[in-house]
Amino acid sequence: MAVPFVDLKAQWADLKEELLPRIVAAIEAGNFIGGRAVADFESHFAAYCGVGHCVGVGNGTDALYLALRGLGVQAGDEVITAANTFIATSEAISMTGARVVFVDCDPETYTMDVRALTTAITPRTKAIVPVHLYGRPADMDSITRIAAERQLFVVEDAAQAHGAMLGARRCGSFGHAACFSFYPGKNLGGYGDAGAVVTDDPELAKRIRMLANHGRIAKYDHEFEGVNSRLDALQAVVLDVKLSRLEDWTERRRTAASQYHMALRDMGLPVPGDVEGGRHVYHLYVTRVPDRERVQAELSKAGIATGIHYPIALPNLTAYRQLNYRHEDFPVASRYQDELISLPMFPEITSEQIDSVCKALACAIDGRRP
Ligand SMILES: *Cc1c(COP(=O)(O)O)cnc(C)c1O
């Protein structure tokens, strides 16, 4: 059985009836940028995250950039983030003029190693950007404690972690601000680019909203220069409908993950379980295999699509060669970049599809033919 990596068509079939009339109504209302649809989604998403404010923006990368700029991060500052994330995280830091400082990841959780974080702090450090990678909450207890001791800002990169939890709190409610991407393939995704910043700080929310809209205080009156990065009404309509399904989709992802866990344990492969007292939302289901190139090719031959997140840890990228990092500076991220493999994961994946993936994977790691 062929299994795709994600299947957005299955989701559309389920949403079509509810979504199409709302899209038509939004077009007929004639408000394409901002307006009621955007305000409604923003208030629903803020409530979902358990914070006071949500500012819809153009995409997740801009959300990070705008949050950092809103907090006053600028040239001369250093901002610490994880070595193993998508480049958008570090790009957003560089966009503010600040210097990116990478730290290695924890070998068990794949999220920022808090001991490495402590060592990376200097007098120039202004902020920490932990990433809830793959949908697994970072160690926010330790990170927010360290940040408070050193008076640093925390901006969560929650682009892969809509609905993830630690205790009774959602990811997105721990930092001074948190950033979400609604890229189509994310757990909550639009039909195009979109993103949001959430925060409990009303002044910060106001500043970010202005920054995202040319620093505007009134039409053609601008307090400072900003950028154009706004959430459009059609995306807000799509996101608002999808938000009402998110809990159900997350539970389905978690059910699929449990089935993977059992099969992977039998194969002796690492299982990406929950953090204690936390809720992993499985944006990606990631394990590690020896001889990955061959395993991935065998799976592909069996019709199983997989991904690699990410094949080159950020400090090892050509884009960051000027930082003069060495592979040895990031032993875990550098080793894992050759072993990580992401298996098909989406809410509509069936138990039969997961069986097919696991059978093909068992054959591939044994070096047997399926
Ligand atoms: C997707 C993603 C982003 C960027 O979001 P865009 O909406 O694509 O700009 C940032 N950080 C992480 C970890 C992501 O996965």
**Ligand 1, atom 14, residue with closest C-alpha:** 159
Query: Residue holding tokens 């629903």?
Result: 44
166: helix, strand or coil: strand
pLDDT range class, residue 78, cuts 50, 70, 90: very high
pLDDT tens profile 171-190: 999 999 999 999 999 999 99
What pLDDT was estimated at residue 20? 96
Would you say residue 370 has pLDDT above 70?
A: no
Would you say residue 369 has pLDDT above 60?
A: no
What pLDDT was estimated at residue 120? 97
Query: Residue holding tokens 């998110």?
Result: 246
150: helix, strand or coil: helix
Mean pLDDT over 335-357 rounds to 98
CA gap 294, 245 in Å, rounded = 37
Q: Which of 136, 157, 230 to mutate to test the pocket of ligand 1 (most atoms within 8 A of CB)?
A: 157
Mean pLDDT over 88-92 rounds to 98
**Ligand 1, atom 7, residue with closest C-alpha:** 60
Give a three-class secondary structure readout of 326-357.
CHHHCHHHHHHCCCEEEECCCCCCCHHHHHHH
Mean pLDDT over 147-162 rounds to 98
List residues near ligand 1 (CB under 6 A): 59-61, 85-86, 88-89, 131, 157, 159-160, 181, 183, 193, 195
pLDDT range class, residue 366, cuts 50, 70, 90: confident
Mean pLDDT over each residue of the chain, to the nearest integer: 96
CA gap 41, 60 in Å, rounded = 16
In this prediction the pTM is: 0.97
- Over pLDDT 70: what percentage of the chain? 99
Q: Which of 64, 160, 197 to mutate to test the pocket of ligand 1 (most atoms within 8 A of CB)?
A: 160
Alpha helix stretches (DSSP H) within the chain:
8-29, 36-49, 60-70, 87-95, 114-120, 140-150, 202-211, 233-243, 246-267, 292-301, 331-336, 351-366
Joined together, the tokens standing for residue 338 give 């050759």
pLDDT range class, residue 368, cuts 50, 70, 90: low
Cα 245 to ligand 1 centre (Å): 21
CA gap 48, 188 in Å, rounded = 12
Name which residue leads in pLDDT, 328 or 370: 328
Joined together, the tokens standing for residue 44 give 């629903």
DSSP 76: T
Alpha helix stretches (DSSP H) within 50-164:
60-70, 87-95, 114-120, 140-150
pLDDT range class, residue 1, cuts 50, 70, 90: confident
